[in-house]
Structure 1
Amino acid sequence: MSLRLKAVVDKFVEELEEALDADIQDRIMKDREMQSYIQEREREVAEREAAWKADLSRREAEIARQEARLKMEKEKSVLMGTASNQDISKSQ
């Protein structure tokens, strides 16, 4: 009887070990899938951030160009106004 009981217990332990191994392998696969998913999302976020920064840089450069152009136009306007005032003063 004890040999039969030992055989049943051994079979139970063997099946339990197989189930545990299968569970461990499943968890390892799920972990790998999750890591892959996370890496893909991080890559996408990094790409979006790089594109956003490039766009921001282009916009800042355009603003700087517009500010420089406006400053030059203002200086030109002031100089032309001064020249015009001088012409009026000379003609009087």
Structure 2
Amino acid sequence: MPKAAKSWDSDYLLPDESFSVTFAEQGVYDYYCIPHEHAGMVGRIVGGEPEAHDWTKLTGAKGDLPEEAVKAFPMVEDIMTKGIVRRA
């Protein structure tokens, strides 16, 4: 996440519930589903035109996420080129 951005937490959502967040800073935002992170249930949002140092060679999340979650993040370059990347 961009340094100036605030983190968010949707908490657990039940069927038919929703959550929204507004990104005020441009950059790369990684998110994941806590109960399903071991299955690679993750997402990456690229807002605006992040500066190269924000995402160059960024292939996964940093921190204590399981290996499956880190490998599931699409590459920023693919998102910038294709607009959307979906994986099954």
Q: Which bracket does the TM-score occupy, shorter chain normalised?
A: under 0.3
Q: Which has the higher helix share?
A: 1
TM-score normalised by length of structure 1? 0.15
Q: Which has the higher strand share?
A: 2
